[in-house]
């Protein structure tokens, strides 16, 4: 069974080998309040004294009240939890300029693009050069299989990627952590309960592939690792 120290070591190795960020950088963590982003935020808080020179860490949550899938929840508990970790917590509310998209484009895709745009704009305005997303190894495996079946390419989300001529680097610092470890450790960090899942079911294709990966993992506990190893070999060709 992994420990917090073990997770720290894996994250540190990934951060250094992928050159995700370094001491003095300003890291904005995109958080939903769910299990993955909460775990990521907690671990980044632990790592502040492990990165030479330290780094500034803040949490940002996009609250799109004009989205048809908007969920009205109390965010004060999460804000207080961030305060206990000495992490500033910010809420981003995009302007009401929602436009109907093409019927062929998933509303989930449009919502995600709109939220991400608001997040990039705000952290750039606030002077952050690093944006952290909480994708686990499970998420990377699901993406790899979706790309394989839909596009014939065994590719996944990169752990680090530069945007806007290098002004902002998008990182996935828990992409080396399993979803099982995330669930296990979230029971121990005294975080507030996660918000309810998005009520929209348009993103059914990804949900179906997630179930495929869960089924594969039940048959072989190394399924996610093997998928990502195959992805790494494909991308190195």
The answer to whether residues 190 and 83 touch, using CB atoms and an 8 Å cutoff, is no
CA-to-CA separations, 225 to 100, 191, 216, in angstroms, rounded = 40, 28, 11
Cβ–Cβ < 8 Å for 61, 192: no
- Mean of pLDDT values over 56-81: 82
Closest CA to 192 of 78, 24, 21: 78
| Domains (range + CATH), the chain | 4-137+154-197 (3.40.50.620)
Q: Which of 9, 2, 89, 77 is nearest to 41 (CA)?
A: 89
Per-residue pLDDT reduced to its tens digit, 110-134:
777 888 999 999 999 999 999 999 9
pTM of the complete model: 0.90
Query: What values do phi and psi take at 211, rounded to 5?
Result: -70, -35
């Amino acid at each position: 069974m992994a420990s917090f120290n073990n997770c720290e070591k894996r994250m540190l190795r990934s951060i250094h080998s992928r050159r995700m960020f370094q001491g003095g950088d300003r890291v904005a963590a995109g958080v939903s309040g769910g299990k993955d982003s909460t775990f990521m935020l907690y671990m980044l808080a632990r790592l502040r004294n492990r990165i030479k020179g330290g780094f500034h860490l803040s949490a940002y949550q996009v609250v799109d009240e004009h989205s048809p899938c908007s969920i009205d929840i109390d965010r004060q508990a999460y804000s207080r939890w961030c305060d206990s970790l000495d992490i500033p917590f910010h809420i981003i509310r995009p302007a009401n300029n929602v436009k109907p998209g093409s019927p062929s484009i998933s509303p989930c895709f449009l919502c995600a693009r709109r939220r991400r745009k608001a997040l990039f704009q705000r952290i750039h305005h606030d002077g952050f050069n690093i944006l952290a997303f909480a994708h686990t190894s499970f998420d990377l495996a699901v993406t790899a299989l979706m790309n394989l079946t839909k596009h014939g390419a065994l590719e996944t989300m990169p752990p680090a990627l530069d945007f806007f001529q290098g002004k902002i680097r998008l990182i996935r610092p828990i992409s080396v952590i399993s979803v099982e470890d995330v669930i296990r450790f979230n029971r121990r960090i005294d975080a507030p309960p996660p918000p309810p899942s998005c009520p929209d079911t348009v993103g059914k294709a990804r949900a179906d592939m997630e179930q495929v990966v869960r089924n594969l993992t039940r048959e072989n506990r190394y399924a996610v690792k093997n998928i990502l190893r195959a992805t790494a070999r494909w991308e190195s060709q």
